[in-house]
Amino acid sequence: MSRAILLVDHGSRRAEANAVLDAVAERLRRRSPGCIVEVAHMDLAPPDIAQGILACVRAGATEIVVHPYFLGPGVHTQRDIPRAVESAAAEHPGLRFAISDPLGVHEKLVDVVLERVENAYAD
């Protein structure tokens, strides 16, 4: 099995906002060198989920875990992403798909918030 991770965020008209997801993807690639990692955006910027899945397939993925890079459950994570994945899955029979939970509440996220707060006044 060749696993892929497809990171999905909302997307933005601002390139620097979309670059954040690219930076997360690059870090995932470094930490999981045997894993295919691609990105997609729900709105406002390419690639969309279908294009992201196609990139995973072209890279040799046989299973794709779609990770909603969102803080909590909402319309995109509960409805839009599953619908888009279901539609794309129909185009790729035999490919295995899963959708992970969004980031949500996690001790490591609390650590990040505390770190950002501590550094708020740093020069």
Top-tier CATH class for 3-118: alpha beta
Q: What is the chain's pLDDT, residue by residue, as a tens digit (123 residues)?
A: 799 999 999 999 999 999 999 999 999 999 999 999 999 999 999 999 999 999 999 999 999 999 999 999 999 999 999 999 999 889 999 999 999 999 999 999 999 999 999 999 976
Per-residue confidence (pLDDT) for residue 109, from 0 to 100: 94
Q: Helices (DSSP H) in the chain: which residue ranges?
A: 15-31, 49-58, 75, 81-91, 107-118
Per-residue confidence (pLDDT) for residue 112, from 0 to 100: 94
CB 43 within 8 A of CB 11: yes
Per-residue confidence (pLDDT) for residue 123, from 0 to 100: 63
Locate tokens 């620097």: which residue? 16
Closest CA to 84 of 45, 40, 35, 46: 40
The model's pTM:
0.93
